[in-house]
Amino acid sequence: MKTVGLRTYSVSPAEFPLELEVTAVRLPANRAIVGHARVSKDGVLLERLVPTIVEDPTALAVRFKIPLPANPPASFDITQTVDCWFSDNCPPDARYHFVIKSKNGDESTTTVRVPTLNPGAANLAFRVG
């Protein structure tokens, strides 16, 4: 897995499934809401993958996987939106820390900081091929 742009990653099919962990920092609870993974080719939506979320309230973390779609084309894109909700009185350095791991151990991170207006969105894009 290589980072090829802002929150944009190049992934080979052999690196699936991708494992994602979102951890809330300086917040009372993890309130990250994970959207469906959208599989598309040339801008045309092919499939939606419903994520299975594993919550770990003690660690303020949520974990989920992005599997390789069934019958995938030779090259395609997967995009996923994660909405991160913050408390009204959270400190200025409250944040959600994302860790993205591929099957071969590559790892990438990104951060969602306190937004002016809830939720703080993160759009992740994976270019597969």
**Residues forming the site for another protein (CB under 8 A):** 5-7, 26, 28-29, 31, 33-36, 43, 57-60, 81-83, 85, 87-89, 91-93, 110-123
Shortest spacing between CB 125 and another protein, in angstroms: 10
54 vs 121, which CB is nearer to another protein? 121
Amino acid 3 reads T
Q: Measured between alpha carbons, how far is 8 from 55 in angstroms, rounded to an integer?
A: 25
Minimum gap (Å) between residue 103 Cβ and another protein: 25
Rounded to the nearest whole angstrom, what is the least distance from the CB of residue 14 to another protein in the complex?
A: 27
- 64 CB burial (10 A radius; 0-12, 13-18, 19+): buried
DSSP structure class, residue 92: T
